[in-house]
């Protein structure tokens, strides 16, 4: 068995090397290599069944990998039981004790460790103040809202001083408004404590708002790791481009490749990249990806040539969505591109059937392999 052997960096708190996990004939994780940095909020994102919760359970010690190594700093903890890992976990179902009040729920882990009661009280009160529950110490769990219960679960996990806090879809049971508020609270609490947070969600908005970095997974593999902006604006695969937000994707073929960039032809026009695209050659099949908000839309010019990164189309559908409007514009071959504009309080700027010119900046598009 051969493992990657790069030295662990001081900034890496958890390192995974060549991790696989199988359940019988089902392969849940495939060759996971990842470093989790000290003090960051790292989010595992992906569709149901992609392996994100399995990976979190391996970090927690609830599952053992079928192959590979898991290091904390530079110490192997692959086979270390959960209770010996400096890791705590907050579940989607908070598992609070209904027969204990808020204070005693938070204090539970400290008392199991038989800490002096004076220290227990000091640490619990400090944590209750941090999560803004200091006036609810004697409340029973059934008297709390969903958001308050989530704060109790968070405080109970953090009061033990873990190096890593694992959060497995902790906001899934909350309604939208409370979820948005709790995302802000999670970031504030993480910044106050400096604890490394590892977060699991299938909700793109949660991942984009909360995360320092995102690990996007599919079918047990890591598709891309990066900041939210890197994944959104510079996807490295068609899966990433399609999974995050809305993306226009056009099949194309390379017609020019050089150190200054590539030119690709699609049905309706040509697109030139803003930077060099290593590894591309003339006649390679590819895809052009551009976000709806990056597409400019204007009345079609009469008898004027259309340059790179532009095409003629006709408005096929109009979707007013609150403060924005999305136009579906149909190319001559029937392909539709979606373009988004901010509304100024009036109606739509264009009408069904109107000829338009769609265009975008070279740095607003990505060229992706088949």
Largest CA distance in the chain: 84
Give per-residue pLDDT as tens, 182-216: 888 889 989 999 999 999 999 999 999 999 999 99
Which among 294, 302, 300, 301 is positioned nearest to 330, based on CA atoms?
300
Q: Could you tell me which residues are beta bridge partners of residue 222?
A: 217
Other beta carbons less than 10 A from residue 42's beta carbon: 21
CA dihedral angle for residue 258, residue 259, residue 264, residue 269, rounded to 10 degrees: -100
Give 3-state DSSP helix, strand, coil % of the chain, rounded to 5.
25, 35, 40
The 8-class DSSP code of residue 142 comes to G
Asked if residue 314 lies in contact with residue 297, where contact means CB atoms within 8 angstroms, the answer is: no
User: What's the 3-state SS for 72-91?
Assistant: ECCEECCCCCHHHCCEEEEC
Q: In this structure, which CATH number among 3.30.70.1450, 2.40.50.140, 2.40.160.40, 2.60.40.1220 belongs to the domain 248-369?
A: 2.40.50.140
In whole angstroms, give the CA distance from residue 263 to residue 137. Answer: 64
pTM of the model: 0.87
Among 1-5, 105-109, 273-277, the minimum mean pLDDT is found in 1-5
- Cα 208 to chain centroid distance, Å, stands at 5
How far apart CA 367 and CA 370 sit, in angstroms, is 10
Residues 289-341 pLDDT 10s: 999 999 999 999 877 667 889 999 999 999 998 889 999 999 999 999 999 99
- Residue 95, pLDDT > 80, answer no
The stretch 120-128 carries a mean pLDDT of: 92
pLDDT at 2 over 50: no
Q: Is 241 exposed, middle or buried (0-12, 13-18, 19+ CB in 10 A)?
A: buried
Q: CA angle 241-249-284, nearest 5°?
A: 100
Question: What's the mean pLDDT in 270-281?
Answer: 78
Give the CA angle between residues 360, 362, 364 to the nearest 5°.
65
Look up tokens 């990249």; give the residue.
273
**CATH 3.40.50.150 correct for 12-234:** no
What's the token pair of residue 27?
A: 């392969």
Say if residues 309 and 362 touch (Cβ distance below 8 Å).
Answer: yes
Q: Note the pLDDT of residue 325.
A: 93
Is residue 370's pLDDT more than 80?
no
Model confidence at 347, pLDDT cuts 50, 70, 90, reads low
Cβ partners under 8 Å of residue 314, min gap 6: 329, 330, 353, 354, 355, 356
**CATH 3.40.50.300-classified regions of the chain:** 12-234
- What's the CA gap between 285 and 293, in Å, rounded? 25
Domain with CATH 2.40.50.140 in the chain: 248-369
Strands of the sheet containing 213-218, edge to edge, are 87-90, 164-168, 196-201, 41-45, 213-218, 221-226
């Amino acid at each position: 068995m051969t493992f990657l052997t790069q030295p662990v960096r001081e900034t890496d708190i958890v390192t995974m090397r060549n991790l696989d996990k199988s359940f019988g004939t089902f392969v849940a994780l495939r060759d996971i290599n990842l470093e989790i940095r000290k003090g960051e909020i790292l989010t595992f994102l992906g569709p149901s069944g992609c392996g994100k919760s399995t990976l979190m359970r391996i970090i927690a010690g609830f599952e053992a990998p079928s192959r590979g190594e898991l290091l904390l700093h530079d110490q192997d903890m692959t086979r270390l039981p959960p209770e010996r890992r400096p890791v705590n976990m907050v579940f989607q179902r908070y598992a609070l004790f209904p027969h204990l009040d808020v204070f005693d729920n938070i204090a539970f882990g400290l008392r199991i460790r038989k800490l002096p009661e004076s220290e227990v009280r000091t640490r619990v009160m400090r944590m209750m103040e941090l999560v803004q529950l200091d006036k609810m110490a004697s409340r029973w769990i059934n008297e709390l809202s969903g958001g308050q219960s989530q704060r109790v679960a968070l405080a109970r996990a953090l009061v033990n001083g873990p190096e890593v806090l694992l959060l497995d879809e902790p906001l899934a049971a909350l309604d939208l408004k409370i979820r948005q508020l709790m995302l802000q609270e999670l970031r504030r609490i993480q910044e106050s404590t400096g604890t490394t947070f590892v977060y699991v969600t299938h909700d793109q908005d949660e991942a984009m708002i909360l995360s320092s970095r995102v690990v996007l997974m599919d079918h047990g593999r890591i598709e891309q790791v990066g900041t939210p902006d890197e994944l959104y604006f510079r996807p490295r695969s068609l899966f990433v481009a399609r999974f995050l937000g809305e993306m226009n994707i056009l099949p194309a073929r390379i017609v020019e490749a050089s150190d200054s960039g590539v030119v690709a032809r699609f049905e309706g026009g040509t697109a030139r990249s803003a930077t060099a695209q290593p590894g591309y050659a003339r006649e390679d099949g590819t895809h052009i990806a551009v976000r709806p908000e990056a597409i400019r839309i204007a009345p079609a010019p009469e008898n004027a040539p259309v340059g790179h990164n532009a095409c003629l189309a006709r408005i096929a559908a109009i979707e007013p969505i609150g403060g924005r409007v999305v136009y579906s514009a149909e190319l001559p071959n029937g392909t539709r591109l979606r373009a988004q504009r901010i509304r100024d309080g009036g109606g739509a700027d264009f009408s069904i059937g109107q000829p338009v010119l769609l265009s975008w900046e070279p740095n607003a598009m990505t060229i992706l392999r088949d």
